[in-house]
Amino acid sequence: MDGSLPATPAQSPIPKVSIIVPARNEEANLGDCLQSLTTQTGVEFEIIVVDDGSTDRTREIAGSFAQVRVISAGPVPNGWTGKNNAMVEGAKKPSGDWLLFTDADTVHRPGSLARALNEAKNESADLLSYSPEQVVCTFSERAVMPVIFSELAAQYPPHKVRDESSGVVAANGQYILVRRSAYESVGGHAAVATEILEDVALARLFRYAGLRVHFRYGGDAVRTRMYRNWPQLRDGWTKNLALLFPHPANLATHIFLQWSIAWFALYVAASGAASQHFVWILAFAPWLLVYRRIRAVHFSTANNLLAISCGLPLFAYLLLGSKRAYENGKVSWKGRDYEVSIPPAKIQSTNAPRILDGQGLGAKSQELGAKS
């Protein structure tokens, strides 16, 4: 009689994740980001911080974490964006089967990396991207961010992004988890190195290659504070809005009219209530419709009310400013100026930004005055 124990089924090894964090002058954010990443559990990982010519304490903070490897991005090749150059450098020699590209202003919830990896495998995703919970503090953040994200949700509904037949594709560069073999097969960030919206460009490459893209709101996994003041918010969205929305001037007009109608409806409803003509309270409906649209994107009630009060016209202003910047051929971000050689009308489609233009990459940008 064989008294040996029954054979134990072989378990699949847990894949390793290489976490790549591009960082340029991120001393205000990087410590919290790395603290949340170094304490992840349930998965093997390495962390690579790519110092993109920082002039503050970014490199010092990264080096204070024993588990973090710090490398330099090096000079930005002509025509590339600084962030893409940092991504390419970070992805040159990773040891993981999966790569997580995440921004230095993110904070990751405990255990989120292991859960994201399981979700990617369960969804058979080659690229998984989360839209983080947005932390807003200043007046401009609280007023504008709910409006922008409600419009993004309308333009790029996550359920349509997940539908391969919809023609809609998107990703959020603050959290992109990719299967390394798939990433390398499409050329990685080097293939979209000239793109301002490198996250959407990368997602489109995956979709064109027949690879699966999975995108959703990921507040259960990661949060971020994108901008800390009005100049940062203005410059950041000026860089992106005209690429994210097909007809920025038309949308700005629509948003301003929506704001005007909402306030007029509120006035009519309040006047009707005051004069006891209660039927006029029904005029409150347009205001409620605007509120319902904004409240769907996970901000607080106070922020949503502030967005309706002040954020809609500010968003219209930012849309027109972004359109004007692209018409003038230059956008700026983090001390670098980029020439944008193709106006928005030529790089967008009705469903998503057109990343590929003919045989070359659209929205080609050129670094003019990098500050190292």
- For the chain, the domains span 16-139+156-228, 243-361
What pTM was computed for the model?
A: 0.85
Taking the C-alpha atoms of residue 364 and residue 342, their distance in angstroms, rounded to an integer, is 7
Weakest-pLDDT range from 52-61, 118-127, 270-279:
270-279
Weakest-pLDDT range from 127-131, 214-218, 237-241, 275-279:
275-279
Q: Which alpha helices (H) appear in the chain, and where do they start and end?
A: 30-38, 58-63, 82-90, 112-122, 139-155, 158-162, 180-185, 198-208, 230-244, 248-274, 285-295, 301-306, 312-328, 344-347
- DSSP code of 367? B
Q: Are 19 and 108 in contact (CB under 8 A)?
A: no
The residues pairing with 179 across neighbouring beta strands, listed in sequence order, are 98
Q: What are phi and psi of 91, to 5 degrees?
A: -90, 5
Tens digits of residue pLDDT in 85-113: 999 999 998 999 999 999 999 999 999 99
Residue 273 pLDDT class (50, 70, 90 cuts):
low
Taking the C-alpha atoms of residue 272 and residue 314, their distance in angstroms, rounded to an integer, is 29
Which has the higher per-residue pLDDT, 286 or 349?
286
Taking the C-alpha atoms of residue 215 and residue 241, their distance in angstroms, rounded to an integer, is 20
Residue in the structure block whose two tokens are 């050129």: 366
CATH of 16-139+156-228, one of 1.10.10.10, 3.20.10.10, 3.90.1150.150, 3.90.550.10: 3.90.550.10
Tens digits of residue pLDDT in 194-252: 999 999 999 999 999 999 999 999 999 999 999 999 999 999 999 999 999 989 999 99
pLDDT of amino acid 60: 97
The tokens describing 273, both together, are 């209530």
Mean pLDDT, rounded, for 343-357:
41
Taking the C-alpha atoms of residue 365 and residue 227, their distance in angstroms, rounded to an integer, is 23
Helix (H) or strand (E) holding 13: none
Q: Minimal CA–CA distance to 55: which of 15, 77, 24, 16?
A: 24
Tens digits of residue pLDDT in 308-333: 889 999 999 999 999 999 999 999 99
